[in-house]
């Protein structure tokens, strides 16, 4: 696997500052919380026990586990970092010393709560290679949270896949398969993929609607703040970064048309194995009428996109690669098209 640098917002080098979350510098998660902080951090546990865990969606679960020495029942809420074939992947934010992790290593897993339901579950401990792949997707979707985790644990890596895998030996990940999941894993995986396909198709449709209406401020609702748009127009190329700059560029280009509509012709979507990232190839057509001479013109192109989830779990465009493969000749009759090579990029290489 080729080396990938950390996404924007994730530093690859160790820092000397105390572990903290931005804006909450008094919370030091490198030690077990006490007092009022301990009570505040238990609030999610109370919600799960009251069967109100659905307020967390599918991003958090509560683990019930027995103390390895006391035998007492404990409950710990942890984040779902990703999914692999229906398996919920969670990480120990304080490393292998976390009590819940040490308890389940000793066979103390009792149950896992997801939403309002309590499930019997099987546990699996991921290899560093598997953990590295999950964390790479998590970094893309939640760069700030990933950096906070690294700060808390005092770990870092040099930006390569190999060193990330080395780092993940210090950040253990576990997979939980909930009761009934084994017998219905195929159907569940297909259903989950269909749900994500529909969600991503809605994202694409929303983009087409925004461009047709030229509602550029709404691009922030469909694009990651660091979204990058790379354009290959056949005779020139350029790269634009950020929803505001992208909207300003497209808006300027559309001033030459009295009529414009963005039409999606076809799309192919591939959701990543952890459910945190996805790629797509989207074919589109622009229907246009010139302000200058009233001619009806068109353009055909294809987008190769990478999408990630934001903090709320919604899909957003992270990178977009647009390639033009045909458009009406500016100097010729309406039916005269300039044709370029069809740009095709393998989805697994985006």
Average pLDDT value for residue range 317-335: 85
Distance CA 26, CA 21 (A): 9
Contacts of 135 (CB under 8 A, 6+ apart): 81, 91, 146, 164, 168, 171, 173
Which CATH number applies to 187-349?
Answer: 3.10.450.50
Indicate the pairing of strand 315-328 with strand 223-232: parallel
Distance CA 181, CA 305 (A): 31
Q: What confidence category does residue 51 fall into, taking pLDDT thresholds of 50, 70 and 90?
A: confident
In this predicted structure, the answer to whether residue 255 has a pLDDT above a threshold of 90 is: yes
57-112 pLDDT, tens per residue? 888 999 999 999 899 999 999 989 888 888 899 988 778 888 999 999 999 999 99
302, 342 in Cβ contact below 8 A?
Answer: yes
Distance in angstroms between the alpha carbons of the first and the last residue of the chain: 13
271-311 pLDDT, tens per residue? 987 788 999 999 999 999 999 999 999 999 999 999 998 87
Round the average pLDDT of the chain to a whole number and report it. Answer: 84
Domain ranges of the chain: 35-183, 187-349
- Lowest-confidence segment of 16-20, 35-39, 226-230 by average pLDDT: 16-20
Q: What confidence category does residue 43 fall into, taking pLDDT thresholds of 50, 70 and 90?
A: confident
350, 304 in Cβ contact below 8 A?
Answer: yes
129, 164 in Cβ contact below 8 A?
Answer: no
Write down how long the chain is.
350
90, 173 in Cβ contact below 8 A?
Answer: yes
Residue spans of alpha helices (H) in 89-232: 99-105, 128-141, 143-153, 161-167, 185-213
Give the CATH superfamily of 35-183: Electron Transport, Fmn-binding Protein; Chain A (2.30.110.10)
Distance CA 60, CA 91 (A): 11
């Amino acid at each position: 696997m080729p080396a990938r640098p950390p996404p924007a917002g994730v530093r690859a080098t160790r820092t000397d500052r105390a572990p903290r979350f931005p804006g909450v510098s008094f919370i030091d998660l490198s030690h077990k919380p006490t007092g009022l902080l301990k009570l505040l951090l238990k609030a999610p546990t109370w919600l799960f026990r009251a069967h109100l865990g659905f307020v967390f969606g599918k991003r958090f679960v509560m683990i019930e586990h027995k103390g390895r020495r006391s035998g007492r029942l404990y409950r710990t809420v942890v984040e779902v970092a990703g999914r692999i074939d229906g398996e919920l992947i969670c990480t120990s934010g304080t490393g292998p010393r976390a009590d819940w992790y040490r308890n389940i290593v000793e066979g103390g897993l009792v149950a896992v709560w997801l939403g309002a339901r309590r499930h019997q579950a099987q546990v699996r401990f991921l290899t560093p290679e598997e953990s590295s792949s999950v964390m790479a997707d998590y970094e893309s979707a939640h760069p700030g949270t990933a950096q906070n985790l690294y700060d808390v644990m005092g770990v870092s890596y040099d930006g390569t896949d190999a060193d990330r895998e080395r780092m993940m030996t210090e950040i253990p990940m576990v997979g939980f398969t909930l009761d009934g999941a084994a017998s219905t894993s195929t159907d569940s995986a297909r259903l989950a993929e269909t749900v994500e396909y529909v969600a991503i198709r809605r994202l694409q449709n929303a983009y087409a609607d925004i461009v047709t209406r030229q509602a550029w401020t709404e691009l922030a609702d469909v694009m990651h703040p660091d979204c990058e748009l790379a354009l290959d127009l056949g005779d020139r190329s350029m790269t634009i970064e950020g929803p505001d700059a992208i909207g300003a560029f497209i808006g300027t280009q559309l001033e030459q048309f009295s009529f414009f509509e963005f039409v999606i012709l076809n799309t192919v979507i591939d959701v990543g194995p952890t459910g945190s990232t996805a790629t797509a190839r989207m074919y589109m057509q622009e229907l246009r009428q010139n302000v200058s001479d009233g001619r009806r013109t068109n353009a055909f192109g294809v987008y190769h996109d990478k999408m990630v989830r934001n903090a709320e779990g919604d899909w957003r465009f992270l990178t977009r690669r647009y390639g033009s493969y045909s458009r009406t000749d500016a100097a010729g009759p309406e039916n005269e098209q300039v044709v370029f090579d069809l740009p095709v990029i393998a989805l697994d290489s985006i």
